[in-house]
Amino acid sequence: MAVLANEISLFGHRLRLLDDRALYLPDVEALLVSDVHLGKAETFQSLGIPVSSAVNTENLDRLRSLLTQTRANQLFILGDLFHSRRSLVPEVLISWDNFLKETGVETSLIVGNHDRRLVSSLPPLTMDYQTDAARLGPFLLSHEPEIKHDAALNICGHIHPVMRLRSRTDSLRLPCFFIEHDQKRLTLPSFGEFTGGYEVELVSNTCAYVVCEGEAIVFGGQC
């Protein structure tokens, strides 16, 4: 089997880190994303701040492309699919409903902190909701990090990890996959284009991957 430049082994399990800030688990044929924040632009618009709604379409187009690329049988969203109650305008809900119907993929939402007050307000949608962490084979999927668990790996979101890369003349903040070995935890970057980021610090037992053009580039000495 050819070794893919974006595939890593973590605690004995294969994980494919994708350019578009998503994770594919080849052994269970599942695509994972976190922190999509659909409708964040509409939230800003409702407050009188002119932000283009095109970001929602771009996010869903990227997600469609990833499903085609990986041929995943399952899609897991690790929290914060929607941004706020102000996000639940017809345009956002219809575009998400159309996405679910068009792709036909089995979709599960691990309810995040932004979603918790919204789930009861959503119209019927062809996806599952889970308010607690969910088991997927050897993995434990959650929105916020699970402090204590007995899984091979906790995969989560919530913190929007980014790496700060500096040179004498430039500085970049890049979304990253953040690994904490002592916690058996992998934190995904935020999938949504219109989201901020938390700069992670690489200390003992941690490392990070930045994925670019199909290659996972490692930072830190613990991977």
Query: For the whole model, what pTM was predicted?
Result: 0.92
Work out the percent of the chain whose per-residue pLDDT is above 70.
90
- Has residue 3 been placed in a domain? no
- Has residue 1 been placed in a domain? no
What does the pLDDT read at residue 30? 98
Q: Give me the numbers of helices (H) and strands (E) for the chain, helices first please.
A: 3, 17
Strands 30-33 and 74-77: parallel
Count structural domains, the chain.
1
What does the pLDDT read at residue 41? 59
> Which phi and psi angles does 146 have, rounded to 5°?
-90, 120
16-25, 116-125, 168-177, 201-210: least confident range:
168-177
CA proximity to 64, closest of 86, 33, 26: 33
- Has residue 46 been placed in a domain? yes
- Has residue 143 been placed in a domain? yes
CA proximity to 18, closest of 72, 58, 55: 72
Q: Domain residues for 65?
A: 9-219
- Has residue 4 been placed in a domain? no
- Has residue 147 been placed in a domain? yes
CA atoms within 13 A on the CB side of 20: 18
CA proximity to 183, closest of 156, 217, 219, 143: 156
CATH, residue 157: 3.60.21
The pLDDT of 159-164, averaged and rounded, is 93
